[in-house]
Amino acid sequence: MAALRYSGLDDTDSEDELPPCWEQRTTKDGWVYYANHTEEKTQWEHPKTGKRKRIAGDLPYGWEQETDENGQVFFVDHINKRTTYLDPRLAFTVDENPTRPTTRQRYDASTTAMEILQGRDFTGKVVVVTGANSGIGFETAKSFALHGAHVILACRNMTRANEAVSRILGEWRKAKVEAMTLDLALLRSVQHFAQAFKAKNVSLHVLVCNAAAFALPWSLTKDGLETTFQVNHLGHFFLVQLLQDVLCCSAPARVVVVSSESHRFTDINDSSGKLDFSRLSPSKSDYWAMLAYNRSKLCNILFSNELHRRLSPRGVTSNAVHPGNMMYSSIHRNWWVYTLLFTLARPFTKSMAA
């Protein structure tokens, strides 16, 4: 195929030769997809064989992967001094087995974290999950660890964090998992965590900003800010800023911000449409726990979108996710009314593993 010959490779498999107007491309994480320039569409399946493919192996010696200003991957051949948007490994793709009898083909409310990552190998990848000693943070950390990643549980309570580490090791003794102290209600602790992580001199491929507080009575942190706002948003914002250089050097990398559908039920602008900073960290007289939570989750969304705009050209993507309506977790533990509501709703919610 001409495209592969341009990359210095020869194609000998005529079955995989693309019809006219089709082009073969790759994603950052190694999946092959196909673009039709006439119909202006893309698809995962090969237009002739219907197969899905993935890249196999590392880049050839002298090649390096980069990302342009539009977030599209391109490749630099330092030996021959040239660049191309064609992955030089396209001649060495492998078929993705389409039959996975134990895994749904379409993710839904019952899909577990383990099923999401089934078949993926995260060996050599470093993942940090905040608030990972319980709830969806624990399930996320466990799934990454059992798929080969080096996972760091960033938690305030080290006793519970170490118990979570033991639970993961109990499922697979070779899992590479550890706990580190991170108190998002104290900006000095966030700074100390970032310094300690950098001292490890490792990459950071995935940062999951998961920790959150819900239904807290009004209080100020030692930094003088309303606690829900600082724990749910500002602490994570500060953490990402401190680790931004590590993320960029580890590209392709990803930041995942766990937000909530409840961000739709609030606003942080005043009546004139301008940002009202007093709503972010309100006084005691203006405080309502649920509204504070909703506003912090809206800040999560805005932050994630802007972070993606700024860092995606450097190979770091950012996504905000809603984990599911009324997911039963320990997040409600601060007030008995919410505990009662969550208990009543439990039969109709997602399980923790999902």
Are 148 and 121 spatial neighbours (Cβ–Cβ below 8 Å)?
yes
Are 231 and 185 spatial neighbours (Cβ–Cβ below 8 Å)?
yes
Pairwise CA distance, residues 86 & 1, whole Å: 12
Q: Cis check for the bond before 19: say yes or no (omega within 30 of 0).
A: no
Pairwise CA distance, residues 301 & 299, whole Å: 5
Are 253 and 205 spatial neighbours (Cβ–Cβ below 8 Å)?
yes
The active-site residue, picked from 85, 107, 287, 293, is 293
Q: How many residues does the chain have?
A: 354
Q: 293 catalytic, yes or no? A: yes
Instruction: Please provide the DSSP assignment of 171-227 as one string.
Output: H-TT-EEEEEE--TT-HHHHHHHHHHHHHT-----EEEE-----SPPS-B-TTSSBH
Amino acid identity, position 331: I
Write out the catalytic residue numbers: 293
